[in-house]
Structures are given as C-alpha cells and as structure tokens.
Amino acid sequence: MARPASIHPTDGELEILQVLWRAGPCTIGQICKTLRLQRPVATTTVATMLKIMLEKKLVQRKQGKQSYVWSAKTTQKSAASGMVRKLVNAVFDGSAQRLVAHLVESGQLSDEEREAVRRMMTHGKE
C-alpha cells in the first residue's frame, strides 16, 4: 500500500520555495536559472516539481505574457511551522522542550542563540 503524499515540502521543493520567497513571482526559466547557481537542474524536473507543489497548494501560477508566472502560496513561516511540528512529533515525541534541550546539549546553538532562547523562556518573547 502506498504511503499518502506529504503536505510538507521536500528538500527540492524547499529550494524552489526559497527562490520564490526571495525573488517573488518567477517564470520557470527564472527559477531554473537561480537554482543552477547552486547545482545543475533540468527544466523538466523543475516543471514536474512545480506541478506537484501546485497540487500540494505550496505554489500558485498565473498566465503571463508567454509562460506561467509562479509564486509561493505558502509563507516561509507557515512552511517552517509545519515542518518543525512534524520533526517534534516524529523525533522528540511531541515535546518542543526536548527539541530545544537537544539543540542546547548538542552545541548547535551559538552563545547569542542560547541567550535568546533563555530570554524567550523567561519573558515569552525575544
């Protein structure tokens, strides 16, 4: 039995979303050009990914003068929230506290980041 499709963006979909979040609405050519600054990508692959992302409601498209213009439908904050929630549930048994403890104990936070976490914990905001 096939696993149901995830509503969360894959790594490749996140790359495309990052382009759209930074640059705003783009044609597929503009998306590919930006992605190719990091690594080779085939236009057909990006087109397939955009189609899947459209079905997942991560992006939207409008007809431009010569081709579709793609834009992010989900915000960076919304995508991050969903992915962090999935991580917390899958890896840390639903405990955000365990995630923060892991980040602190693993040394992945700078002194400034640890101080910001401490302030958030004591004041509720940064």
Which pLDDT belongs to residue 3? 58
Distance of CA 125 to CAs 95, 100, 117, Å? 19, 15, 9
Sequence ranges of the domains in the chain: 11-72, 76-123
> Can you tell me the distance from the alpha carbon of 25 to that of 20, in angstroms, rounded to the nearest whole number?
6
4, 56 contact by CB (below 8 A): no
Q: Which fold has domain 11-72?
A: Arc Repressor Mutant, subunit A (1.10.10)
pLDDT along the chain (126 residues), means of 10: 73 96 97 97 98 96 95 94 90 89 86 86 68
As a whole number of angstroms, the distance between CA 24 and CA 126 comes to 28
Give pTM, 2 decimals. 0.79
The β-bridge relationship of strands 59-63 and 68-72 is antiparallel
